[in-house]
Amino acid sequence: MADGHTITIEKSDRHVRVVRGDQVLAESERPLVLRETGSPVRYYLPAEDVRIDLLTPSETHTYCPFKGTASYWSLPDAPDLVWSYPEPKPAVAEIKGHLCFYEVEIID
């Protein structure tokens, strides 16, 4: 990547759960772990492991020069809580079909 910026993506078998209030929004034992220069470690969860039925698509879109354009989903009390890259750049193609939350719980 440009100017010393790196992104690595690896498969993990860690048990990741996303809870908001008393609702489990996602739970996966097959997350992707994305490490990016200058950013916290992020877990991208397969869409099948996310309760998309509880989320509302947002109008928000952001652009990352390394990953592409992100789309967001919200809860009534948590705008833009979840994002994904529907058409990620080729260097990070593995994250297609995966969603990321700002906060996850790791269960070991």
Query: Domains in the chain, ordered, with CATH?
Result: 2-107 (2.170.150.40)
Structure tokens at 22: 């008393």
The answer to whether the beta carbons of residues 8 and 99 sit under 8 Å apart is: no
Residues 6+ apart with CB under 8 A from 71: 57, 58, 60, 61, 83, 84, 85, 86
What confidence score (pLDDT) does residue 105 get? Answer: 82
Q: Which DSSP state fits 39?
A: S
Q: What is the pLDDT of residues 10-55, one digit of tens each?
A: 999 999 999 998 899 999 999 999 999 999 999 999 999 999 999 9
Would you give the distance in Å from CA 89 to the centre of its chain?
15
Task: Give the pLDDT score at 104.
Answer: 84
pLDDT category at 90 given cuts 50, 70, 90 is very high
Q: Report the pLDDT averaged over residues 87-104.
A: 95
**What pLDDT does residue 107 have?**
78
| Residue 80 pLDDT class (50, 70, 90 cuts) | very high
108 has pLDDT over 80: no
Q: 5 and 35 in contact (C-beta within 8 Å)?
A: no
* pTM for this predicted structure: 0.93
Query: pLDDT at residue 3 above 80?
Result: no
**pLDDT value at 1 more than 90:** no
